[in-house]
């Protein structure tokens, strides 16, 4: 089969692309390398077609050779990373909404299957758990903070996908719950696990946002890729919305403690944990509803947190 992966040079996209290539598929990656890197694709670079272009522009899709032969579009291009949501909310909205609309139009025009990578943040600050089913999205008043530039852009993306499905398109939605693993960005614009490991290694201190009681359901990259593959390869699943996450919740204070211990064991250096002010609008919990994943895709996260953290740490040493 032939796949288009937007955002395929990023954390999640590059591992998905590697797996698609390993399975013998033909892959076109469309990424402007805003946050992704060519180096993430080094193992497969000579076996894929990489188009360095903006997924928001219709003209970028004109570079795809033989577009009618694309079977599945995986749309992952987006601005991700909490610091960006607060610092550049209009960029987040622009890229996330326009890249979704343009890639969806491409898939519609060429009769491809479409997989939209949404997020649990599409539910905003909903306190109903598990998350990702029929409950309503809850967004605080827009003057409070800018965080939901991201979650609301994913919510609008989901609306666009459902509209396309109503018009007969084969489109699906996946929502990864806090992915982590090798290649996750650990700088100040990155995501939690890699940021904690990075600051433990660089500064010997892990700074936890708020009081650290907020929990997440961390999902290892290999499990996410298996779920993404299953979501895109399944027949007769138009309109499917699937949450890909682990049922094991961990508080951020506990996560920091475990990472500190692991870094101490692996490197011999001492690591302390402190607490700092967090971002507004951060959800207290994000536990996935796994009904679709388990019953429709027969998918379950298999990697233990212990193993996943160790693999991630070793990739960053
Ligand atoms: N990582 C997670 O835990 C997680 C959770 C929920 C949802 N998601 C979604 O999954 C997708 C991939 O996330 P990720 O963690 O790999 O992030 P990432 O930042 O590593 O990957 C996003 C990719 O999109 C590219 N990109 C950004 N703007 C672009 C543009 N205008 N045109 C073309 N490419 C562009 C970036 O260069 C990057 O390679 C995103 O849509 C994200 O919102 C990720």
**Which numbered atom of ligand 1 lies nearest the CA of 79?**
27
**Which numbered atom of ligand 1 lies nearest the CA of 121?**
6
Query: Which residues have CB under 8 Å from 13's CB, separation 6+?
Result: 5, 6, 7, 29, 31, 36, 74, 76
Q: Is the pLDDT of residue 282 over 90?
A: no
State the pLDDT confidence band at 307, using cuts at 50, 70 and 90: very high
**Which numbered atom of ligand 1 lies nearest the CA of 9?**
39
Identify the three-state secondary structure at position 41: helix
Instruction: Compute, in angstroms, the gap from residue 265 CA to the centroid of ligand 1.
Output: 32
- The mean pLDDT value for 132-137 works out to 94
Confirm or reject: Cβ of 193 under 6 Å from ligand 1. no
Domain boundaries, the chain: 2-179+220-245+283-302
pLDDT of 147-176, one tens digit each? 999 999 999 999 999 999 999 999 999 999
Give me the pLDDT at residue 192, please. Answer: 95
State the pLDDT confidence band at 278, using cuts at 50, 70 and 90: confident
Give me the pLDDT at residue 120, please. Answer: 96
State the pLDDT confidence band at 281, using cuts at 50, 70 and 90: confident
Name which of 286, 299, 120 is nearest 222 in CA terms: 299
- The mean pLDDT value for 108-123 works out to 98
Q: What is the CATH number of domain 2-179+220-245+283-302?
A: 3.40.50.720
pLDDT of 58-71, one tens digit each? 999 999 999 999 99
Confirm or reject: Cβ of 57 under 6 Å from ligand 1. no
Instruction: Compute, in angstroms, the gap from residue 309 CA to the centroid of ligand 1.
Output: 21
Mean pLDDT of the chain: 97
């Amino acid at each position: 089969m032939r796949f288009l992966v937007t955002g395929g040079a990023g954390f999640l996209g590059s591992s998905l692309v590697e797996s698609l290539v390993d399975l013998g598929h033909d892959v076109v990656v469309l990424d402007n390398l805003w946050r992704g890197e060519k180096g993430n694709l080094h193992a497969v670079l000579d076996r894929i077609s990489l188009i360095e272009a903006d997924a928001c522009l219709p003209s970028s899709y004109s570079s795809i050779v033989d577009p009618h032969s694309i079977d599945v579009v995986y749309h992952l291009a987006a601005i991700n990373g909490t610091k960006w949501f607060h610092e550049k909310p209009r960029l987040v909205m622009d890229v996330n909404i326009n890249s979704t609309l343009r890639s969806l139009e491409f898939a519609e025009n060429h009769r491809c299957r479409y997989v939209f990578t949404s997020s649990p943040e599409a539910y905003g600050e909903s306190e109903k758990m598990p998350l990702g089913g029929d409950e309503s999205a809850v967004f605080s008043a827009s003057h409070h903070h800018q965080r939901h530039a991201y979650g609301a852009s994913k919510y609008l993306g989901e609306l666009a996908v459902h509209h396309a499905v109503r018009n007969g398109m084969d489109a699906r939605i996946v929502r990864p719950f806090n992915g982590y693993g090798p290649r996750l960005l650990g700088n100040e614009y990155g995501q939690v696990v890699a940021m904690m490991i990075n600051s433990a290694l660089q500064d010997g201190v892990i700074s936890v946002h708020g009081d650290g009681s907020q929990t997440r359901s961390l999902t290892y990259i290999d499990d996410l890729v298996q779920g993404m593959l299953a979501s895109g390869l399944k027949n007769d699943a138009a309109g499917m919305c699937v949450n890909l996450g682990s049922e094991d919740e961990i508080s951020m204070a506990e996560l920091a403690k475990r990472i500190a211990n692991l870094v101490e064991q692996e490197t011999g250096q001492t690591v302390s944990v402190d607490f700092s002010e967090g971002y507004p609008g951060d959800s207290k919990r994000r536990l996935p509803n796994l009904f679709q994943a388990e019953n429709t895709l027969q998918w379950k996260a298999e990697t233990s947190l212990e193993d996943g953290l160790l693999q991630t740490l070793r990739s960053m040493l």
